[in-house]
């Protein structure tokens, strides 16, 4: 069975970490996840940008686009897509296409760190990938 | 991360909301700060034993309020003060507080707290110091270090600023839409000041002042979380991120300025650039360009260029032209002239900055650019005059050293072979 692990944390707290503190947390986690990666158990790992970078598309007869993260509590997170978009406009457009005739809500959040095989790369190796 | 460090970061991030709410209850900045401080001490004692509360901000406000009320009651017994008039919302039930504590309710509290620091009578340095002390919770020692003054001098400045804002009579009712927008504009400008204070420093001081940039970004993010649909706050946050992304590459090992075109772009922070770009993208959809958005766009054009020669100067020219229309200023025109010189050549740019001679007569960058343009046009002597003037106007040793490099080059070239 594949399990998704959704990481929930107090954003203001995480944002107040220094670069060193942040790196220390990632390093601590990597001690576990790198082992999982070596045994082939680990899938993609993603770190999202802050919720301030989020845009929410609420589908309905007229889709509504809102700034900020998805904030309701009635709906639950049931799944997600990872899509390579040229711009936020394209991302919103895709959300509208996928959600046509549904009452789904999409929170569109840019990705900060994407590790296709879950493993942390050697220091600095991510750079080229992240800027592009 | 051990528990104490964790609690510390929770207290730090809860600070603006908690003090903002306590200020609304007590209408007294000192009392709000003191009761928050006391609540933090209790948190450090009880959280490790009982575990952290579900909503730390609500916990801190509740405890801080009770501490402050006890204190007021004690004092009102010994002194005949009309305590009730100083305290609002005396009979709030605790359940009621817990219910009301979501971001939308913190919004005006935090905005008010930030706005208090922006009092127009306060000089920029005092606004910044006050915001860092009250909102960010930096110690007087840390702030004094950032401004390169003694602890005692900074303490005095902050005390003076506090007594000034205490007399300012900022209204405590929820602000109307226009008032809220005005406060937001003033607060954004103050956050930009905090950032600039950290960013414009150079030379050996730089490592001391970088925390000011981090604080400014934290404040901008906080503001954006509370006002998620304001394109100018998106622009401000993006601008700070995009500029801060270049910090490591701005000075060489000797503390000398490295020009944008000579910077090692691999040393730019890719995370910050990506986040800044995402925020510009969001802001653009609103179709309401503003000064921060346009400046962020400009920083974004630079950030997108993998090499300096890839820079889309025509786009930068366009953004500066828009900024000129929105906020005409000689400095904006001067900056635009840099882009124009790349697109249309140094002669056009030189003609463009000619009318700025008077308004920018005391401006280092005016003479730096003028000298550079004259040099490109082959007017060595006139360039030297402009560079000499620039050195005389330089604020930091790094600025002067940079111009001296040009002069040295001129000297070499003019020497007979």
Under a CB-based contact definition with an 8 Å cutoff, are residues B283 and B231 in contact? yes
DSSP B257: B
Q: Nearest chain B Cα to A17, which residue?
A: B9
Under a CB-based contact definition with an 8 Å cutoff, are residues A87 and A123 in contact? no
CA distance B240 to A11: 19
Give the tokens for residue B356: 């700025």
Question: Which SS3 state, helix, strand or coil, does residue B395 take?
Answer: coil
B78 with B123, same domain: the answer is no
How many residues does this entry show for chain B?
Answer: 417
Task: Tell whether the model's pLDDT for residue B202 goes beyond 60.
Answer: no
Specify if B130 maps to a domain.
yes
Q: Among all chains, which residue has been given the structure tokens 């993998």?
A: B306
Specify if B413 maps to a domain.
no
Specify if B114 maps to a domain.
yes
Cα angle: A130, vertex B236, B18; to 5 degrees:
100
Under a CB-based contact definition with an 8 Å cutoff, are residues A69 and A56 in contact? yes
The two most distant CA atoms of chain A are separated, in Å, by 48
- Whether A49 has its CB under 8 Å from any CB of chain B: the answer is yes
B158 with B223, same domain: the answer is yes
B6 with B108, same domain: the answer is no
B172 with B60, same domain: the answer is no
B80 with B125, same domain: the answer is no
B95 with B151, same domain: the answer is no
ipTM of the complex model: 0.84
Of B81, B101, B121, the last residue of a domain is B101
Specify if B16 maps to a domain.
yes
The model's pTM is 0.85
Specify if B135 maps to a domain.
yes
Nearest to A16 among B9, B228, B270 (CB): B9
Specify if B183 maps to a domain.
yes
Residue range B332-358: mean pLDDT, rounded: 96
Nearest to B281 among A15, A16, A88 (CB): A88
Cα angle: A44, vertex A46, A50; to 5 degrees:
170
Under a CB-based contact definition with an 8 Å cutoff, are residues B244 and B217 in contact? yes
* pLDDT of res. B208: 53
Q: Nearest chain A Cα to B231, which residue?
A: A67
CA distance B60 to B42: 9
Number of domains forming the structure of chain B? 2
B118 with B216, same domain: the answer is yes
Specify if B17 maps to a domain.
yes
B211 with B110, same domain: the answer is yes
Q: In chain A, which stretches have pLDDT less than 70?
A: 120-132
B179 with B85, same domain: the answer is no
- Residues of B with Cβ-Cβ distance to A90 under 8 angstroms: none
* pLDDT of res. B1: 57
* pLDDT of res. A109: 95
The CATH number covering residue B71 comes to 1.10.1740
Q: What is the pLDDT of residues A4-39, one digit of tens each?
A: 999 998 888 888 788 888 899 999 999 999 999 999
* Percent of the residues in chain B that have a pLDDT greater than 90, as a whole number: 56
Of B228, B251, B284, the last residue of a domain is B228
CA distance A57 to A109: 11
B12 with B83, same domain: the answer is yes
Question: Which SS3 state, helix, strand or coil, does residue A108 take?
Answer: strand
Nearest to B274 among A12, A21, A112 (CB): A112
Nearest to A13 among B9, B228, B274 (CB): B9
Specify if B276 maps to a domain.
no
B14–A127: do the CB atoms touch at under 8 Å?
A: no
Of B49, B74, B101, the last residue of a domain is B101
Q: Please report which helix (H) or strand (E) contains residue B129, including its range.
A: helix B124-130
CA distance B365 to B355: 15
Give the tokens for residue A85: 């978009």
* pLDDT of res. B274: 96
- Whether A17 has its CB under 8 Å from any CB of chain B: the answer is yes
B48 with B126, same domain: the answer is no
CA distance A131 to B271: 8
Task: Tell whether the model's pLDDT for residue B61 goes beyond 50.
Answer: yes
- Residues of A with Cβ-Cβ distance to B5 under 8 angstroms: 21
Full domain range(s) for residue B35? 1-101
Q: Which of B24-28, B168-172, B410-414 has the lowest mean pLDDT?
A: B410-414
């Amino acid at each position: 069975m594949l399990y998704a692990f959704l990481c929930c944390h107090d954003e203001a707290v995480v944002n107040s970490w220094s670069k060193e503190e942040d790196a220390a947390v990632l390093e601590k986690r990597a001690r576990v996840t790198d082992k999982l990666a070596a045994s082939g158990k680990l899938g993609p790992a993603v770190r999202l940008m802050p919720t301030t970078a989020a845009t929410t598309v609420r589908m309905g007869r007229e889709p509504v686009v809102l700034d900020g993260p998805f904030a309701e509590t009635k709906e639950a997170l049931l799944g997600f897509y990872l899509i390579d978009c040229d711009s936020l406009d394209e991302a919103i457009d895709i959300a509208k296409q996928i959600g046509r005739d549904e009452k789904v809500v999409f929170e569109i959040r840019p990705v900060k760190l994407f590790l296709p095989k879950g493993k942390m790369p050697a220091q600095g190796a991510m750079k080229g990938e992240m800027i592009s | 991360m051990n528990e104490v460090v964790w609690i510390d970061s929770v207290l730090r991030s809860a600070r603006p909301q908690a003090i903002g709410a306590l200020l609304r209850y007590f209408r007294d900045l000192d009392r709000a700060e003191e009761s928050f401080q006391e609540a933090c001490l209790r948190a450090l004692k009880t959280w490790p034993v009982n575990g952290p509360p579900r909503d730390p901000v609500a916990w801190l406000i509740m405890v801080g309020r009770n501490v402050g009320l006890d204190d007021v009651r004690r004092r009102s017994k010994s002194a005949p003060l009309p305590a009730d008039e100083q305290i609002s919302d005396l009979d709030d039930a605790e359940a009621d507080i817990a219910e009301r504590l979501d971001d939308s309710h913190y919004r005006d509290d935090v905005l008010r707290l930030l706005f208090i620091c922006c009092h127009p009578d306060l000089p920029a340095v005092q606004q910044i110091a006050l915001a860092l002390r009250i909102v960010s919770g930096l110690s007087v020692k840390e702030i004094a270090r950032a401004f390169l003054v003694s602890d005692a001098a900074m303490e005095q400045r902050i005390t003076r600023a506090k007594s000034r804002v205490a007399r300012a009579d900022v209204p405590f009712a929820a602000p109307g839409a226009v008032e809220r927008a005005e406060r937001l504009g003033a607060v954004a400008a103050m956050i930009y000041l905090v950032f600039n204070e950290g960013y414009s420093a150079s030379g050996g001081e730089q490592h001391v002042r970088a925390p000011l940039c981090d604080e400014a970004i934290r404040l901008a993010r906080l503001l954006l979380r509370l006002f998620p649909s304001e394109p100018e706050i998106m622009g401000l946050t993006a601008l700070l991120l995009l500029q801060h992304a270049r910090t490591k590459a701005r000075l060489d090992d000797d503390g000398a300025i490295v020009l944008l075109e000579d910077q090692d772009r691999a040393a730019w922070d890719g995370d910050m650039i990506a986040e800044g770009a995402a925020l510009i993208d969001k802001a653009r959809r609103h179709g309401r360009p503003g000064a921060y958005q346009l400046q962020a766009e400009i920083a974004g054009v630079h950030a997108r260029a993998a090499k300096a020669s890839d820079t889309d100067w025509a786009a930068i020219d366009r953004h500066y032209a828009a900024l000129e229309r929105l906020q005409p200023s000689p400095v904006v025109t001067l900056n635009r002239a840099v882009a124009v010189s790349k697109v249309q050549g140094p002669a056009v740019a030189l003609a463009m900055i000619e009318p700025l001679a008077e308004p920018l007569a005391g401006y280092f960058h005016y003479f730096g650019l003028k000298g550079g343009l004259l040099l490109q046009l082959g007017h060595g002597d006139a360039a030297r005059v402009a560079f000499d003037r620039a050195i005389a106007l330089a604020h930091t040793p790094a600025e002067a050293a940079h111009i001296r490099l040009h002069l040295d080059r001129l000297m070499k070239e003019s020497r007979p072979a």
